Amino acid sequence: MSATKTITFTLNGEQVTAEIAPHHNLIEMLQNQFDLFGARESCGQGICGSCTVSVNGRAVSGCLYLAAFADGAEVVTVEHLDADGKLDPVQGAFIEAGGFQCGFCTPGFVLMSKQLLDEQSDPDDDQIRHYLSGNLCRCGAYPEIMEAVKIAAKKRNKRESGI
Amino acid sequence: MLDGLADRMNWSAPFDRGRGTVRRGRGIAIGIKASVSPTTSVAIVYLFADGSCNLYCGTVDMGQGAVTVMAQIAGEVLNIPAERVKVVHPDTDVTPYDMATLGSRSTYHMGHAVRLAAEDARIKVQALAREVGLPEGSQVPLAELFQKKYKMQAGNIVGVGHYIPSYVPPDASGLTPQATPFWMIGGAGAEVEVDVETGHVVVTRLVNVADVGRPLNPRIVATQLSGAAIMQLGITLFEKMHHDNGQVTNASLADYKIPGIFDIPPIENETVEAIQHSGPFGAKGAGETGTFSVSPAIANAIHDAVGVRITELPLNPEAVFRALRAKQNQPLEDE
């Protein structure tokens, strides 16, 4: 038995505590203690991006990120994007463009795309590719994902300009 | 289909062959494949007293969009919107027999079973309408029919459909007039750049042309074709599985490279609409069609660019470089 530690952090806008072991990663904690399955462990090596979680506003690979590091942090998962009852523009754009087949990788792509658009409101193709190069999609929905990010950029820019 | 490919590839126009160490080439290929046969699919359509509809079918939706298409088929027959058909996911406790979700067979085989189950249910709805004294062709909502018969919200209608395609086993010489219920036909064209110093191949354009019968959901079919071609692109260029006495020795996804977003060339997809008269609403399978011709089209393009004919996958830099050296009579030593 390894010693456990209590951590406190903000999860999808709520203050929570979790009992974790030093070796637990973020995904194990989110799935086992909070029933959040949107971030999925796939490669377990930080290669595929399907376990992407936002910590203090930065996307991290939940499979490599130790749960202990979440202590005091602000953690956001894909489940939080429609917290106001509406899909995030990025989620809506993925549906509109058909940016997936099986959907396993989609939460990771959605979170990365959102972070990209937070930093760069009107990215070109190369910027999109560069930003999403750490996310793998075995169904090969990349062309539709590129399209989705562009649609999402348009949606967000329209929203911001209030049109 | 070849015409469509040639048009898209501007086949008759002059082609830039590249210069220096980067040579350019282009190639096309076409392939056909049978759907696995004979196989059986069974489906059940369940109409409830409130007029709602469940569809029990064993097709596994792993992203190909089967649930959507099966709901479309049932909805079309029953004249209700597809989104009102609740497709019950495969569960051996609940859903009837299906051979498997493979071989691009679901839209055709399960599609027929769903169509037949819905038609069976429709006949029973018409019988119920007669029973409660309504004239032929009356458009009374189903929930009201049940209400008229049972004097309360009760009752149900179950429609069952199964489909077994006609099939003739091969004779002693291996011939049969009916090997498969339908053929899949897929073509691809590729333009490539080959670096003769490194063997590195970049696909600069990929065109897929496919005969998919009548696409029941054109958007889904286009994504399927594109995704299939991209998966095949990975097998063609990158994905090398290493074995040691039958044991796969690629340790992880880091050692088995599947395509990432930087590996995707501009892709064009075109469907040649050719109605499959034996298929449900003219449809046939499309799952594998996008894969057939990608590897040979790229291999042909490499041959066109640098004159080496490679017949083993993947066409990774090592394979291409070895072939180039062998062609120059300076073969590299084996690994």
Torsion over CA: A23, A115, B229, B82 (sign): positive
Closest C-alpha among B148, B169, B189 to residue B297:
B189
- Binning pLDDT at 50, 70 and 90, where does residue A104 land? very high
For chain A, the structural domain boundaries read: 5-80, 89-161
Q: Exposed, middle or buried, B303 (CB in 10 Å: 0-12/13-18/19+)?
A: middle
B259 in the same domain as B189:
yes
CB atoms within 10 A of CB B173: 6
Whether B85 is in a domain gets the answer yes
Look at residue B333 in the predicted model and tell me its pLDDT.
Answer: 87
- Binning pLDDT at 50, 70 and 90, where does residue A13 land? very high
Domain count across chain B: 2
pLDDT score of A10 more than 70: yes
Quick: pLDDT tens for B229-287: 999 999 999 999 999 999 999 988 889 999 999 999 999 999 987 899 999 999 999 99
CB within 8 Å: A101 and B229: no
- Binning pLDDT at 50, 70 and 90, where does residue A135 land? very high
Whether A26 and A77 have beta carbons less than 8 Å apart is answered as no
Average pLDDT over residues B154-162: 97
Look at residue A159 in the predicted model and tell me its pLDDT.
Answer: 83
pLDDT score of A163 more than 70: no
Residue of chain A whose Cα is closest to the Cα of B230 = A140
- A155: Cβ contacts below 8 Å, ≥ 6 apart: A89, A92, A93
* CA triple B304-B305-B308, angle to 5 deg: 70
Q: Which helix (H) or strand (E) is A128 found in, with range?
A: helix A125-131
Peptide bond into B135 cis (omega under 30): no
- Binning pLDDT at 50, 70 and 90, where does residue B1 land? confident
Look at residue A2 in the predicted model and tell me its pLDDT.
Answer: 67
Amino acid of residue B103: G
**What's the rounded Cα separation, in Å, for the pair B208 and B269?**
5
**Adjacent-strand bridge partners of B206:** B190, B267
Quick: pLDDT tens for A46-90: 999 999 999 999 999 999 999 999 999 999 999 999 999 999 999
Whether A68 and A128 have beta carbons less than 8 Å apart is answered as no
Whether B173 is in a domain gets the answer no
- B210: Cβ contacts below 8 Å, ≥ 6 apart: B1, B184, B185, B186, B187, B225, B269, B270, B271, B272, B286, B289, B290
pLDDT score of B177 more than 70: yes
Whether B281 and B263 have beta carbons less than 8 Å apart is answered as no
**What's the rounded Cα separation, in Å, for the pair A103 and B185?**
27
Look at residue B243 in the predicted model and tell me its pLDDT.
Answer: 93
Q: Which of residues 205-234 of B touch A (CB under 8 A)?
A: 219-220, 223-224, 226-231, 233-234
Torsion over CA: A106, A108, A109, A113 (sign): positive
B294 in the same domain as B201:
yes
Quick: pLDDT tens for B13-22: 999 999 999 9
B320 in the same domain as B189:
yes
Strands B85-88 vs B156-163: parallel, antiparallel or unpaired: unpaired
Look at residue B273 in the predicted model and tell me its pLDDT.
Answer: 77
- Selecting from B62, B234, B267 the residue whose C-beta is nearest the C-beta of A143 gives B267
Whether B59 is in a domain gets the answer yes
Whether B211 is in a domain gets the answer yes
Closest C-alpha among B104, B107, B114, B128 to residue B49:
B128
Q: Which residues of B touch A133 (CB under 8 A)?
A: 260-262
- Phi and psi dihedrals of A103, rounded to 5? 90, 0
Q: Which helix (H) or strand (E) is A20 found in, with range?
A: strand A14-20
Closest C-alpha among B202, B179, B177 to residue B190:
B202
- Selecting from B252, B258, B261 the residue whose C-beta is nearest the C-beta of A129 gives B261
* DSSP-derived 3-state class of residue B233: helix
Helix axes B294-306, B317-327, angle to 10 degrees: 40
Share of residues in chain B with pLDDT > 90 (%): 93
Mark whether B144 is an active-site residue. no
B210 in the same domain as B289:
yes
Average pLDDT over residues B44-66: 96
CB within 8 Å: A101 and B64: yes
**What's the rounded Cα separation, in Å, for the pair B167 and A155?**
52
Question: What's the CATH code of the domain at B142?
Answer: 3.30.365.10
Please give the residue range of the domain that contains residue B110. Answer: 41-163
CB within 8 Å: A101 and B261: no
Whether B171 is in a domain gets the answer no
Whole-Å CA distances, B155 to A139, B116, B152, B247, B289: 43, 21, 9, 57, 44
The two tokens of residue B266 are: 């501009």
Whether B174 is in a domain gets the answer no
Whether B289 and B112 have beta carbons less than 8 Å apart is answered as no
CB within 8 Å: A47 and B224: no
What class is the A5-80 domain? alpha beta
Q: Which parts of chain B are beta strand (E)? A: 18-19, 22-34, 41-48, 53-57, 85-88, 156-163, 183-195, 201-211, 243-244, 247-248, 267-272
**What's the rounded Cα separation, in Å, for the pair B6 and A31?**
51
ipTM of this predicted structure: 0.92
The two tokens of residue B296 are: 């040979």
* CA triple B2-B6-B7, angle to 5 deg: 115
* CA triple B147-B153-B159, angle to 5 deg: 85
Whether B287 is in a domain gets the answer yes
- Selecting from A45, A132, A145 the residue whose C-beta is nearest the C-beta of B254 gives A45
Look at residue B334 in the predicted model and tell me its pLDDT.
Answer: 80
Average pLDDT over residues A93-106: 96
Average pLDDT over residues A29-43: 96
* DSSP-derived 3-state class of residue B31: strand
* CA triple B218-B5-A101, angle to 5 deg: 35
Q: Which residues of A touch B231 (CB under 8 A)?
A: 138-140
- Phi and psi dihedrals of B133, rounded to 5? 85, 25
Look at residue B137 in the predicted model and tell me its pLDDT.
Answer: 82
Whole-Å CA distances, A17 to A64, A109, B296: 20, 28, 56
Average pLDDT over residues B53-74: 97
Torsion over CA: B6, B7, B8, B14 (sign): positive
CB within 8 Å: B62 and A102: yes
Average pLDDT over residues B199-218: 96
Average pLDDT over residues A84-108: 96
Look at residue A162 in the predicted model and tell me its pLDDT.
Answer: 66
B228 in the same domain as B157:
no
**What's the rounded Cα separation, in Å, for the pair A65 and A51?**
10
What class is the A89-161 domain? mainly alpha
Whether B55 is in a domain gets the answer yes
- Binning pLDDT at 50, 70 and 90, where does residue A1 land? low
